[in-house]
Structure 1
Amino acid sequence: MSCPLAAALLLLASLGGIWWFQKGDLGAYRRFSALNDSRSRRMRFRLWLARSALAFLLPVLVGLALLARIDAMAVMPDEFAPIAATMPPILDSGEAMQGMLIGGAVGGLAIGAVLARVRKRKPLGNVSALLPRERREVKYAAALSIMAGVTEEAFFRLYLPLLFAMVTGQAGIGFVASLVLFGAMHRYQGWVGVVATTALGAVMTGLYLMTGSLWVVMLVHALVDLNGLVVTPMLGGVLKK
């Protein structure tokens, strides 16, 4: 089987995975919002973690292995090079740039912690149901943040654009389509959440193309989510014992 044909089949399978993940997700989120007992909420958190791994992480690992492109997890694919070359350089040294980005992300996390304490700031979008309500739920919110950072960046910043590039020969089409799908996937958060996550996705795409490092954008994404789902409620004084 030729690589373009295999990529086309894997692309269809990936789009089917997104559909499966989104099927009934809005209604499920509304039902989850109505849950009051922590045990039921923790069970739902575990289900979301499993679904995220099945819908996003597993297809990436299996698909890249089938295409003999597993190295793309560590080295940016050559298909992305023409677009990456158009990105403005931030620093001449890739290591220095990665250090700056990580430092900025960690600094942003610290600033978010201060704002959460001073202003009791709420994250953008309708994510109130995802915020932990007691300390036993904190680890699940943290796990969701880390899972989103790893799986969504691997899927939407690397895997989907690569498949589109292999099928169409145009990586730009893949990045745009992935960005649209990334925003639409968060429709349960309302239009504010869709806009905010689409903007975040655009930033992550730019960071990936400028650094060539998938793990950097995974880390930044996870820290952003940790700030909203863990730091804010913990320091905002809203958690039950």
Structure 2
Amino acid sequence: MTAALLLAALLAASWYVRRRLALDFGHGRAGAYRAVTVRQLGGFAAPALLALALAGEWRALWRMPESFARLAEMLGIAGWVAPGDGWTLLLGAAGGSALGAGFAFIHWRWRGRRGPMFGELGWILPQGRGDLGWGVVLSLVAGVAEELFFRLALPLLAALATGSALAGFILSALLFAAAHRYQGIAGVIATGAMGVVFAALYLASGALWLAVAAHIVVDLNSLVIRPAITGAWRRESTG
């Protein structure tokens, strides 16, 4: 199967699972969270892994493809992040998240409401203690599934189809932002920018796990830490 056909199949499978496949995991917030979790796994992780297998690119899971390495060299960022520096960067990201959470807590105590966020998460934002566990699950699942899809399988297949890794990452960044349009224009812009950051981390380090971990840290801040300190921990989940 050619790369172009695999790319089309990847996008079609993802769209169908996330937008058209009927899932019934019961009523209430827990059922909705289960459905979102399955859609993440079935709409991003599964198609990405299957596409890599069919393309014969399994090694890309632990070794950066040559086309990506050449792009990193062209951009002048190859080797900027040594594998051993990844943990330092993650600690810095965690520290930044903690600082942001602290400001959110001060705003909540001072104004009595949640502070501004880049984009609205809608119903998915945890409302009570029971939801926070799902926030952890979704953060872990999204971090792994979306990075496999948007930072590996999608740009790699696009690069194989077009001969341009840069075109692959541009397409991936646009689709990653579009996938978060439920967060409004601010959320699309913010997630688009974060997608570029995750891609840069991957290209600069050659380690996909670093992009995955950074994605998880960002999601934990949005779906667990900030909701917990601004009232969710004090309330029982409903539904």
TM-score, scaled relative to structure 1: 0.86
Amino acid corresponding to residue 60 of structure 1 in structure 2: A
Q: Which runs of 5+ in 2 are unaligned?
A: 109-114
| Letter paired with 2:15 | W
Alignment root-mean-square deviation, CA:
2.3
Residue 135 (structure 2) aligns with: 141
Instruction: Give the alignment partner of residue 12 of structure 1, picking from 8, 19, 26.
Output: 8
Equivalent-residue separation in structure 1 for 2:60 and 2:217 (angstroms): 23
> In structure 1, what is the Cα distance between the partners aligned to 2:213 and 2:13?
24
Match of 1:172 in 2: 166
Q: From the superposition, tell whether residues 117 and 93 of structure 1 become closer, same or farther in structure 2 (CA, over 3 Å).
A: closer
Q: How far apart are 1:128 and its partner, in Å?
A: 3.4
In 1: Cα distance, 2:92 partner to 2:165 partner: 28
Kindly report which structure 2 residues correspond to 1:153-192, keeping only aligned pairs within 5 A, or say none: 153-192=147-186
1:234 to 225, 228, 232: 228
Check if 1:108 corresponds to 2:108.
no
Structure 1 gap ranges (5+)? 29-37
Tell me the amino acid that sits aligned with residue 128 of structure 2: E
> 1:109 offset after TM fit, Å?
2.6
Corresponding residue SS for 2:74: coil
Alignment partners' CA distance in 2, 1:146 and 1:152: 10
Cα distance in 1, alignment partners of residues 78 and 160 from structure 2: 28
Counting aligned pairs with the same residue, the percent is 40
Shift of 1:95: 2.8
2:56 maps to amino acid: A
SS at match of 1:85: helix
Distance 1:110 1:90 in 2: 29
Deviations 1:199-219 (A, max 9, x none): 111111111110111111101
Matches of 1:171 and 1:232 in 2, distance apart?
Answer: 36
Find the counterpart in structure 2 of residue 213 from structure 1. Answer: 207
Asked if 2 retains the 8 angstrom alpha-carbon contact of 1:122 and 1:232, the reply is no
8 Å CA contact retained: 2:79, 2:204 = no
Is the 8 Å Cα contact of residues 90 and 97 (structure 1) preserved in structure 2? no
Are the equivalent residues in 1 in contact too, given 2:18–2:43 (CA < 8 A)? Answer: no
Q: Is the 8 A contact 1:132 1:138 kept in 2?
A: yes
- Superposed CA deviations along residues 29-74 of structure 1, whole A, max 9, x for unmatched, are xxxxxxxxx9611101100100111111011212212222111111
Number of aligned residue pairs: give it.
Answer: 226
Runs (4 or more) in structure 1 with deviation over 4 Å come to: 88-93
* Offset of residue 93 of structure 1: 6.5
SS in 2 for 1:208: helix
Query: Of 79, 82, 86, which aligns to 2:70?
Result: 82
User: Does structure 1 retain, via aligned residues, the 8 Å contact 2:147–2:211?
Assistant: yes
SS at the partner of 2:117?
coil
